[in-house]
Amino acid sequence: MALYIGLMSGTSVDAIDAVLCDIDNSSANPIQLLHTKSVPFPKVIQQQIHSLSNAEYAHDPIEEMALLDRELGELFAESVDDLLKDSGHIKNDILAIGSHGQTIRHRPDAYHPFSIQIGNPHTIAARTGITTVADFRTRDMVYGGQGAPLVPAFHQAIFHEPEQDRVIVNLGGIANITYLPAQGEVLGYDTGPANTVMDQWIGLHQHKSFDENGQWASQGKVIPELLQELLSDDYFAQSYPKSTGREHFNLTWLKQFDVDSYAPEDVQATLLELTAKTVSQAIQQHTTDATVILCGGGAYNSALVDNLQQNLKGFTIQTSQEFGIAPDWIEAMAFAWLAHRCLNRLSGNLPAVTGAKRPTILGAIFSP
């Protein structure tokens, strides 16, 4: 067995997802999910991350980022300990941890493009006693890439089918697609917001962290003129490679469209329609006949899934659960896989996806 742990905390900032995987490229099933653990963020930490992620952040960012970086490192290490206890394994069984970290700023279009993830990998390695691989985005960006999305290479490894087009849709805070043609080059990019703006909007009006099953959105009606204004954002018209985050799609972005003049539930319905339409339009640029596989938290939003089905008539829509992996764990598994790639000196990016000039090994290695 070659055991790896993957850690992921996404744009929604709801929990640390930890997975234990057996990775063996010589096997017919190269990656097996053995155990999972989801550790919710303490509310105070969640609020600090959201605050630090705001583009208009006005406190002392250097001090607060450094403190939060260390604190998240401790929380990531604790999640590894919890996963190992639940699984019955010990640290000596594990070859490496792949930790994505928590993104607080993603600027792929800056003069010197950069992406910052916190969750101190020195802390993880020291506290767990396990080699830790982190900082997966930077090398791709140095070679001219977006540094995101990085998961399409993993999607290709586990979902590609030589007889059928497939599209993997990750519905996290941000939505991204991976187009896996039966034959030909893999493509992937962020399509725009999935849950992040909806989560912020329901948090503002109903003090809930998310809209369960899209129930609140289902009580509203889509506002056609607002939807057209949202769709006019330049990001949606950009050609790929492209990636985005909360820096762009947030409440400040939303409020420029005078949304307070509408019923809040109608705005929520319109935001859900925005996600469904932008994802669907992106898919239809590449294929008219494919199996669409949903993962991420939005795969549990029945209203969103129904809306996607309406926008993608003729496509088969399933969740990753129907392929043996619950939607929650795909991204964390990807970073266990990327840690394996790094330790074995194998490239982890797809230049056609990120726009990098060349394939490259991703990640920096932190010894215990």
Please, what is the average pLDDT of the chain? 95
Give the dihedral of Cα atoms 59, 104, 147, 240; nearest 10 deg.
-90
Residue 341 pLDDT more than 90? yes
pLDDT digits 0-9 by tens, 225-260: 999 999 999 999 999 999 999 999 999 999 999 999
- Residue in 233, 283, 281, 268 with CA at minimum distance from that of residue 253: 233
**365: pLDDT strictly greater than 60:** yes
What pLDDT does residue 75 have?
A: 98
Q: Position of tokens 């899209």?
A: 214
Judged by DSSP in three states, 310 sits in helix
* Bind-site residues for ATP: 10-17
**What strand order describes the sheet that includes 291-295?**
187-193, 174-180, 166-171, 291-295, 316-319
Residue 58 has a pLDDT of 58
For the chain, the residue count is 368
What is the rounded CA–CA span in Å between residue 9 and residue 100? Answer: 7
Whole-angstrom Cα distance, residue 104 to residue 298?
21
Between the alpha carbon of residue 262 and those of residues 231, 236, 267, the distances in Å are 17, 23, 7
For the full predicted model, state whether its pTM sits above 0.95. no
- The answer to whether the beta carbons of residues 259 and 204 sit under 8 Å apart is no
The answer on pLDDT for 65 being more than 70 is: yes
Q: In which element (H, E) is residue 247 found?
A: none
pLDDT tens digits for 144-158?
999 999 999 999 999
Domains of the chain, start order: 3-147+328-366 (3.30.420.40), 152-323 (3.30.420.40)
The C-alpha angle 43, 48, 54, rounded to 5 degrees, equals 130
- Please check the confidence at residue 57 and state whether its pLDDT lies above 60: no
Burial of 56 (0-12, 13-18, 19+ CB in 10 A): exposed
CB atoms within 10 A of CB 313: 7
Q: Which residues are annotated as a binding site?
A: 10-17
Q: What is the 3-state secondary structure (H, E, C) of 212-238?
A: HHHHHHHHCCCCHHHHHHHHCCHHHHC
Say how far apart CA 346 and CA 357 lie, in whole Å: 16
Question: Token pair of 307, please?
Answer: 């809306």
Residue 33 CB-half CA count within 13 A: 22
258 dihedral zone (left: phi>0; alpha: psi -120 to 50; beta): left
